[in-house]
Each structure stands twice: as structure tokens, then as C-alpha cells.
Amino acid sequence: MNAQVATPVFAFDEIESGTARKVVVRGVAVSVVRIDDDLYAIGDVCTHAEISLSDGEVWCEERQIECPKHGSAFSLLTGEPATFPATQPVPVFEASVLDGQVVVTVGIDDVDDGAATIRPTIGNSGS
């Protein structure tokens, strides 16, 4: 069974352009990034080691966020690392603004053993 879960996380005004903010949506750590009026949401945990990408620097022009530990830069559009040492992508989620609130949508697949896994949703939308 698949489900999309849209969760308001904080007011759009609470995040400055060029910054990232960590939120936890249904147990999933998500890094929400704002660049001007565009929002992005990707998995917060670096795939090289368990480091929060939200603590990294946002590269606005490249639409990337840099892991603060070893410097891999992850695409905010695809979740793919553009630089080593990370080689695996982080998931990408949908982020939007509704009534002034940032809303993050995660897809949840319930698998046979009862454990829930997160299915990335490609794409994002601005304000």
C-alpha cells in the first residue's frame, strides 16, 4: 500500500533564502532548503556517513548543499552527489507552500514484513 503524507513543518517566513533547516517528517529526517522563493526537500542524512546535511552550506547557484563533514555536494533537484566521497544519492521529497506553511510530502510504502520504507518523490515546487 502506498501513501503520500503531506506535513506542514514550519512557516515559510521562518527560513531565510540560502539556508537549510532540518525537520523530521513521519520519522524521516529531511533537509528543507530555501533559495529565493524556491523550496527543496532532500534526505538530511549524508550517504557517506551519518551527518546532517542541514548543517552544511547551501550553494544557491548550483542548487546544491555541501556535506559539512567531507564536502560532498548533493543536488537539491535529484539528490545525487556531484562530488566525492559520497557516491549514493539521498532521497528527494516534494516541498511546497500552503497558507504560508512549508509542507513536505513523503511517500510511504508498506512492505510485506510490516516495516515502512520511504519512497522518494521526485520534484519540488516553489511558493
Positions touching ligand FES (CB under 6 A) are 46, 48-49, 51, 67, 69-70, 72, 85-86
User: How far from 110 is each of 40, 102, 105, 117, CA to CA, in Å?
Assistant: 25, 25, 16, 7
Smallest distance, ligand FES to C-beta of residue 85, A: 5
Of 50 and 109, nearer to ligand FES (C-beta) is: 50
Smallest distance, ligand FES to C-beta of residue 48, A: 3
Of 28 and 90, nearer to ligand FES (C-beta) is: 90
Smallest distance, ligand FES to C-beta of residue 57, A: 12
Residue 19: half-sphere exposure toward Cβ, Cα within 13 Å = 8
Of 70 and 119, nearer to ligand FES (C-beta) is: 70
Of 23 and 51, nearer to ligand FES (C-beta) is: 51
Would the CA dihedral through 67, 68, 69, 72 be positive or negative?
positive
d(C-alpha 25, C-alpha 108), whole Å: 11
Helix (H, G, I), strand (E, B) or coil at 64: strand
Smallest distance, ligand FES to C-beta of residue 119, A: 23
Q: Note if the bond before 85 is cis, omega within 30 degrees.
A: yes
